[in-house]
Structure 1
Amino acid sequence: MYKANRKVPCVYMRGGTSKAVFFHDRDLPSDPQARDRVILSAFGSPDLRQIDGMGGANTSTSKVAVIRKSEREGVDVDYEFGQVSIDLPIVGKTMNCGNISSAVGPFAIDEGLVEAVEPVTTVRIFNTNTQKMIVARVPVKDGKAMTEGDFAIDGVPGTGAKIQIEFSRPQGAVSGVLLPTGNPKDSMEIEGTVYEYSFVDAANPVVFVRAEQFGLEGTELPWEFEARPDCADICRRLEIIRGTCAVKIGLAKDLEDAAINSQTLPKIAICTTPKTYTAGSKKVIEAGAVDFVGRLFSLGMKMIQAYMGTGGICTVVAANTPGTIVNEIVCAGKDTDQVTTVRIGHPFGIMEVDAELEELPEGGHTVKCGMIGRTARRIMEGYVYVRD
């Protein structure tokens, strides 16, 4: 029984452009509802400021990871991700987070769940949310995961040791199929206007729409988008499309249910062709430096300030799926539909995502593995005090 102000061991870590509280599975209640209550108390949710907990009052810093040594053959650790709602008493567990996935390997090594091997330790991770394998290649020195290095990612100050994250066969992570509607592109009429969208399920399901159909350039920064007088109306239409797709894969029974109980998935992204814009870091992103410009939305239809790691994996898979909106943008003017690298322009810079391709016996190709480079850092270790 968890009493008021009971202390629970935890580690606070940054993974990529996100932060999460990491728990050992053994330190949390086994009952799912009791576990969620402990996590919500640790984060100070629900509360828009999360003032009485460790949450950072935005979706990128309100995440939890629960780790245990795996009993599965060929797997080192099992990892469950949770998106902790800020304004609702919900810990969403239908999705994975690619950025937080990059911190799982360093956590497992430093906590003694995996033997440290220099110079690089391979950590085989099973994500229980999506039932998919992730392989992390973590630089190690003196028995610990390295933090310092010369690898930089946009959206994180400074540099760090590069962690290579590989998502093995990411297709059908939630729905079981790559294209949940059966089509690379669909359309929907909303109040007399027809909107095209591509619903792709890889690493996490994402609905891609063209920014121009909503009167947007596609290069807007989150605060610029939120300041638009038509922001609420655009979000309302985006939510209709997103909610319809949630119903399609059984995450919600109707649009109202999707807006309340399936905010985490599917994600929705507005996208456009390569354009020059100024990122939130004041860095000018030249059109020639990217293949695709995207803006992802998270809980409550809030534009994410960077780009989700799993969203990047889904994007590179979509780029290799003929007929999708992403494929049309990335492959425009090219004489091939095989894409091994996609440079994604996001609000704070560029994310590069790689793909290992595999030829299919019936012709065409598929993505055997999607890869991203991230950095991670242990920020704090100790105890969090949970309230009754």
Structure 2
Amino acid sequence: MTQTAIPFWFMRGGTSRGPYFLRSDLPEDLETLARVLVAAIGSGHPLNIDGIGGGNAVTTKVAMLSRSKDSNADIDYFFAQVGVEDGQVDFKPTCGNILSGVGPAAIEMGLVKPRGETTAIRIRAVNTGALIEAKVQTPGDNIRYDGVARIDGVPGRAAPVGLQFMGTVGGATGAFLPTGNRIDVFDDVEVTCMDVAMPMVIARAQDLGLTGYETVTELNDNKALFSRIETVRRLAGEAMGMGDVSKSVTPKFGLLAAPRAGGTIATRYFMPWTAHPTMAVTGAQCLASCVLTPGTVAEGLCSAPSESPATIVLEHPSGSIDVVVDFERDRRDITIRSAGLVRTARLLARGDVMIPPGVI
């Protein structure tokens, strides 16, 4: 039997990378699709040695694109998080870093035609229903990858990709505060459960015996920490109406501490079973919203801006990330209207990924 060749574009999006596919080139039913993605990535081995994954959760992500039937969008972006070693595929979350590459990939695939110096592309995140506008540099109707923008966690500089997120509140749970509370207590740990771009469980680092400034290696080596985080995360997931989350990467987990490098607040983000080397774009929006909301676990750790739009600078293990949040506040109530970030992306390779016989 012969292998099956599936065209793909291999791209770095923000601080993540992975294959971008045309949705029409992949199986429709999710069970078969999951088998194909596991084979393509090489899930089941810590190095993904029999696939094109990179042995880390930020390099086992997949984007699947198609022209949108939604009148408000140009492109539908369907995301999958493939497990590094467990052979599992999670279709529940989305990924904002991989989203950074969706605009350029859509042009590379011929789904969108460049329009002038900057091409604005409206993207619907299929997994969450959020709408995002991506602005891609296209001088001379060609995608520009080189430029002067720099993001922490990626070497060098590149052309900026502007992202404006809209309709991100309650995408997974239907509510800004899924438990109805600004602070809950699970396993004796105070947390804020929030759903903005990504459902998250957010705690103070000090409440878990940490400074909040630990390196990724120090965090990943702390097995007792991950056991505690998982206990809290599962209890919180139930309370957020997400059911049994033991096999889902959502809700994600975040830690907060007072800033120490000139930012608004120090953060650590978990995927959730390993620490993120930088910061997720979706998680950044949720953490920034937590900072702006009175009465959450962020209160007392930093000085939150009062005027909208506000730039929230999140310190992370590799530097920082800026989130510009447009919001409306009425006393202690807050409404998040949109959030904007600047990322970069680059096409790394393109061709066919080979799927072993018997998978499809």
Task: Tell me the TM-score normalised to structure 1 length.
Answer: 0.88
Alignment-derived partner of residue 267 in structure 1:
252
Report the equivalent of 1:208.
202
Candidates 287, 304, 312, aligned match of 1:342: 312
Over aligned residue pairs, what C-alpha RMSD do you find? 1.7
Match of 2:281 in 1: 309
Q: Pick from 154, 157, 160: which aligns with 2:155?
A: 157
* C-alpha deviation, 1:245, in angstroms: 1.8
Are the structure 2 counterparts of residues 162 and 327 from structure 1 closer, same or farther at C-alpha, using a change threshold of 3 Å?
A: farther
Equivalents in 1 of 2:94, 2:185: separation in Å?
Answer: 27
Deviation at 1:20, TM superposition (A): 1.6
Alpha carbons 1:110, 1:144 under 8 Å: kept: no
- For the Cα contact (< 8 Å) 1:197–1:207, is it kept in 2? yes
Q: What residue in structure 2 maps to residue 58 of structure 1?
A: 56
Q: Which SS does the other structure have where 2:301 is aligned?
A: helix
1:367 aligns with 2:336: yes
Shift of 1:57: 0.4
Aligned partner of 1:297 in structure 2 is: 270
Q: Which runs of 4+ in 1 moved over 6 A?
A: none
Inter-partner Cα distance in structure 1 for 2:126 and 2:276: 24
| Structure 2 segments unaligned to the other structure (5+ residues) | none
User: For the residues of structure 1 that align with 2:37 and 2:301, how far apart are their CA atoms?
Assistant: 41
Is 2:117–2:140's contact at 8 Å kept on the other side of the alignment? Answer: no
Contact 1:150–1:159 under 8 Å retained in 2 = yes
1:185-204 correspondence runs (5 A) = 185-188=183-186, 190=187, 194-204=188-198
Give, as a single letter, the amino acid of the residue that structure 1 aligns with 2:240.
I
Aligned residues: 357
* TM-score, normalisation: structure 2: 0.95
Structure 1 position 357, deviation (Å): 2.1
- What is residue 8 of structure 2 aligned with on the other side? 10
Cα distance between partner residues in 2 of 1:184 and 1:266: 16
Where 1:51 maps in the other structure, the secondary structure is: coil
User: Displacement of 1:252 after TM fit?
Assistant: 3.2
C-alpha distance in 2 between matches for 1:363 and 1:225: 34
Aligned to 1:132: 130
SS in 1 for 2:149: coil
2:352 alignment counterpart: 383
Deviations 1:195-249 (A, max 9, x none): 111111000011111111121111111112234xxx2222111111111122223
Q: Which amino acid aligns with 1:348?
A: S
**Counterpart of 1:77?**
75
Determine if contact 1:320/1:337 at 8 Å carries over to the other structure: no
C-alpha separation in 1, matches of 2:200 and 2:68: 29
**TM superposition shift of 1:123:** 0.4
Q: Distance in 1 between matches of 2:239 and 2:323?
A: 28
The farther-off stretch of 57-66 and 39-48 is 39-48
Tell whether the 8 Å contact from 2:134 to 2:163 is kept in structure 1 after alignment. yes
Distance 1:216 1:337, change over 3 A: farther
Kindly provide the amino acid, as one letter, of the partner of residue 298 in structure 2. Answer: V
Contact 1:10 1:384 in 2 (8 A): yes
CA–CA separation in structure 2 for the residues paired with 1:28 and 1:380: 19
Q: Which amino acid aligns with 2:315?
A: G
Greater shift after overlay, 150-159 or 85-94?
85-94
User: What's the CA shift string for 1:13-51, capped at 9, x where partnerless?
Assistant: 000000021000111111221111111100011222110
What is the DSSP-based 3-state SS (H/G/I as helix, E as strand, rest coil) of the residue aligned with 1:142? Answer: helix
> 1:320 touches 1:338 (CA, 8 Å); kept in 2?
no
Task: Specify whether residues 126 and 271 from structure 1 end up closer, same or farther in structure 2 by C-alpha distance, changes over 3 A only.
Answer: same
Does the CA contact (< 8 Å) of 1:42 and 1:384 recur in 2?
yes
**How far apart are 1:6 and its partner, in Å?**
1.2
Residues 76, 126 of structure 2: 8 Å contact kept = yes
Q: How does 1:14-33 map to 2 (within 5 A)?
A: 14-33=12-31
**Contact (CA 8 Å) 1:319, 1:339: kept in 2 or not?**
no
Is 1:238 aligned to 2:207, yes or no? Answer: no
Offset from partner CA, 1:229-272 (integer Å, 9 cap, x none): xx22221111111111222234333xxxx33x22x100001110
Which residue identity lines up with residue 352 of structure 1 in the other structure? D
> Which runs of 5 or more residues in structure 1 are unaligned?
276-285
Counterparts of 1:52 and 1:4, CA distance in 2: 16
- 2:177 and 2:325 map into 1 onto residues whose CA distance is 18
